[in-house]
Amino acid sequence: MTDDKELETIKKEKMKDLMKKTETAKKPSEPITVTDATFKEIVEKNPAVVIDCWAPWCGPCRMVSPIVDEMARDNSGRITFGKLNVDENPDVTGNYSIMSIPTLLVFKDGKLVDRIVGAMPRPMLEERINRCIC
């Protein structure tokens, strides 16, 4: 009988630890900075990821940026948004043949499921992203 009580105590402690870890591992509510070094881990670690490939000199990129910020806030915990500066990260840019910016790369379970090229209004972006991720 003591073994059952002991097991139950261990289970409760493990559950508490799991709950704490889950609380501290909340999804970001703003886009995270993505680099050549962090790209693979971010895409593989999160079930749904949208990477905004941009450059500071790009006018359309500056139009899309606040939309991506809003979508990151509104989809926190569901979709991880990231921003990758194409001028500073040639490996990802080359590996995904990014020729025009802004380009949004949409990943589900570590696989590229869509590529959205060019600026467009939020409703159109959301529809494309949700179609691929849901």
- Residues serving a catalytic function are 58, 61
| Helix, strand, coil share of the chain (percent; to 5) | 50, 20, 30
Q: Are 69 and 30 spatial neighbours (Cβ–Cβ below 8 Å)?
A: yes
Question: At 17, is the secondary structure helix, strand, or coil?
Answer: helix
Nearest-10 crossing angle of helices 59-74, 122-133: 60
